[in-house]
C-alpha cells in the first residue's frame, strides 16, 4: 500500500517527464481532491497509507493531467476572487488574468444599485465575483451557450448571490435596456493561431476561444453595437489578446469614448482594455 509521500513523489516525477506545468502542485491538488483533504493537510499525514481504490482513482486523474487536461476540469472546481466555482468542459476554466481584470474593475465600481452585465459570461466568474463584492449591484450574466448558462446558474446559487441569467448573442438579450458597467471576456483567438495554443486549451470549448476577423470580431461588434445600450459615463472592462492592444484601441476610435486605455498583465502582455462612455450632445 502506497503512502501519501510515495504517491506524491511518483506522480510529480511522472508529470515532470510529461512536461506538465507545475507538476508538484498538480500532484498535490489531485491527491487532496481524491482524499477529500486540504492540500496543506497532506503534509500532516505524509506517511499515511492510501487505500487501493483511492490510489486507482488518483492514477486515473494523473493520467488525464499528463495528457494536458486542465486541472480545473479534473477538480471540477476553481477558485476565483473568494468564490468557489464549478467548472465543466462547457466553459473555460477561469484564468488568473481574468481575476486581475475583475480586481481592477472593482476599484471603479461602487456598491450601489447600478446595472452590470457580464457578456460571454461562461462560468459566470466575473459577474458572480462582482455581485459578491458589490452586493447592491444588479448583475446579469449572458451567454450564447445554454450549457454555459446552466453552469453559471449553479455557480450563482453555490456562492449565494442573486443574479439574472439570459441566453443570447452578445447584446441581443438586452434590447431596450442600458448598463452602467459591462464585463466581457469574448473569444479573441484567430483561427490560424488556435493550433499553436498550449495543449490544455484544446480541452476547452473551441467556440469560447476562436473569433473571426483575425480574433477581433467581438471588439468590432461591441464598438458598433454598444452605444444604445450604455448609460452616460458607463464603463466597459474587456479582456483582449496578448498583442491586440493597438488594434482594439483603433477599433474604439469614436469620439463618444471619453476614456480608453490598454493595461498589461503580469507577463507584460496586452490583456485588459477599459472604456468610459459619454453620450454625444444632440
| Grid cell digits, residue 19 | 512536461
**Residue 281 predicted with pLDDT over 50:** no
Predicted local distance difference test score (pLDDT) of residue 68: 95
**280 falls in which pLDDT band (50, 70, 90)?**
low
Q: Where are the domains of the chain?
A: 4-67, 89-277
pLDDT digits (tens, 9 = 90+) for 7-38: 999 999 999 999 999 999 999 999 999 999 99
| Contact call for residues 78 and 72 (beta carbons, < 8 A) | yes
Average pLDDT in the 240-263 region? 95
d(CA 135, CA 148) in angstroms, rounded, equals 23
**Residue 227 predicted with pLDDT over 50:** yes
Predicted local distance difference test score (pLDDT) of residue 1: 83
d(CA 262, CA 270) in angstroms, rounded, equals 7
Query: Above pLDDT 90, what percent of the chain?
Result: 95
Query: Would you state the torsion angle of the CA atoms of residues 92, 93, 98, 103, taken in this order, to the nearest 10 degrees?
Result: 130
d(CA 99, CA 89) in angstroms, rounded, equals 20
**257 falls in which pLDDT band (50, 70, 90)?**
very high
Backbone angles phi, psi at 233, to 5 degrees: 65, 25
pLDDT digits (tens, 9 = 90+) for 117-176: 999 999 999 999 999 999 999 999 999 999 999 999 999 999 999 999 999 999 999 999
Q: 188-225 burial, b if ≥16 CB within 10 A, otherwise e? A: bbbeeeeeeeeebbeebbeebbbbeeebbbbbbbbbee
- Mean pLDDT lowest for which of 39-53, 111-125, 162-176, 207-221? 39-53
| Contact call for residues 87 and 93 (beta carbons, < 8 A) | yes
For residue 262, what are the β-bridge partners? 273
In the three-class reduction of DSSP (H, G, I as helix; E, B as strand; rest coil), residue 12 is classed as helix
- CATH superfamily of the 89-277 domain: Vaccinia Virus protein VP39 (3.40.50.150)
Predicted local distance difference test score (pLDDT) of residue 25: 97
Average pLDDT in the 63-69 region? 97
Predicted local distance difference test score (pLDDT) of residue 282: 43
Amino acid at each position: 500500500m502506497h503512502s501519501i509521500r510515495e504517491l506524491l513523489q511518483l506522480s510529480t516525477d511522472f508529470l515532470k517527464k510529461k512536461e506538465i506545468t507545475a507538476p508538484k502542485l498538480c500532484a498535490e491538488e489531485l491527491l487532496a481532491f481524491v482524499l477529500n483533504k486540504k492540500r496543506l493537510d497532506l503534509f500532516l499525514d505524509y506517511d499515511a497509507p492510501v487505500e487501493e481504490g483511492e490510489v486507482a482513482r488518483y492514477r486515473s486523474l494523473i493520467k488525464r493531467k499528463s495528457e494536458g487536461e486542465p486541472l480545473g476540469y479534473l477538480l471540477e472546481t476553481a477558485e476565483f476572487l473568494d468564490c468557489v466555482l464549478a467548472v465543466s468542459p462547457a466553459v473555460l476554466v477561469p484564468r488568473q488574468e481574468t481575476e486581475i481584470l475583475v480586481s481592477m474593475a472593482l476599484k471603479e465600481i461602487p456598491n450601489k444599485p447600478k446595472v452590470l452585465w457580464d457578456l460571454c459570461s461562461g462560468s459566470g466568474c466575473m459577474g458572480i465575483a462582482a455581485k459578491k463584492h458589490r452586493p447592491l449591484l444588479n448583475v446579469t450574466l449572458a451567454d450564447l451557450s445554454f450549457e454555459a448558462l446552466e453552469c453559471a446558474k449553479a455557480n450563482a446559487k453555490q456562492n449565494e448571490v442573486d443574479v439574472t441569467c439570459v441566453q443570447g448573442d452578445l447584446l441581443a438579450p438586452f434590447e431596450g435596456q442600458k448598463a452602467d458597467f459591462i464585463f466581457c471576456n469574448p473569444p479573441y483567438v484567430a483561427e490560424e493561431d488556435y493550433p499553436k495554443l498550449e495543449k490544455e486549451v484544446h480541452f476547452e470549448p473551441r467556440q469560447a476561444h476562436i473569433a473571426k476577423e483575425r480574433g477581433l470580431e467581438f471588439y468590432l461588434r461591441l464598438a458598433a453595437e454598444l452605444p444604445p445600450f450604455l448609460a452616460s459615463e458607463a464603463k466597459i472592462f474587456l479582456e483582449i489578446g496578448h498583442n491586440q492592444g493597438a488594434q482594439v484601441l483603433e477599433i474604439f476610435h469614436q469620439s463618444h469614448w471619453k476614456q480608453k486605455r490598454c493595461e498589461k498583465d503580469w507577463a507584460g502582455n496586452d490583456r485588459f482594455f477599459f472604456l468610459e462612455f459619454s453620450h454625444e450632445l444632440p
